[in-house]
Amino acid sequence: MKKTLILLTIVAVGVFLGAPSFADTGQVNINATVVGTCKFTTSSTTISVTLDPSINSDVTGTGSLQFWCTKGASYSVSDDDGQYETGPDQNRVYNSSAEEYIPYSFSYNPTSGTGSGPTSPITLNVSATFQYNDYKDASAGTYTDTVTITVTP
pLDDT for the residue 14: 53
Query: Which CATH fold topology does 58-152 show?
Result: Immunoglobulin-like (2.60.40)
Instruction: Kindly give the parts of the chain with pLDDT less than 50.
Output: none
User: pLDDT (tens digit, 9 = 90+) per residue, 110-124?
Assistant: 999 999 999 999 999
What is the per-residue pLDDT for 32? Answer: 97
120-148 pLDDT, tens digit each: 999 999 999 999 999 999 999 999 999 99
* pLDDT, position 82: 97
Those residues whose C-beta lies under 8 Å from the C-beta of residue 149, and which sit 6 or more positions away, are: 65, 77, 78, 79, 108, 124, 126
Give the pLDDT confidence score for residue 149 in this predicted structure. 98
Q: Return the DSSP state at 144.
A: B
Is this prediction's pTM over 0.85?
no
Report pLDDT for 9. 56
Residue 43 CB coordination number (10 Å): 10
What is the Cα–Cα distance from 40 to 69, expressed in whole angstroms? 9
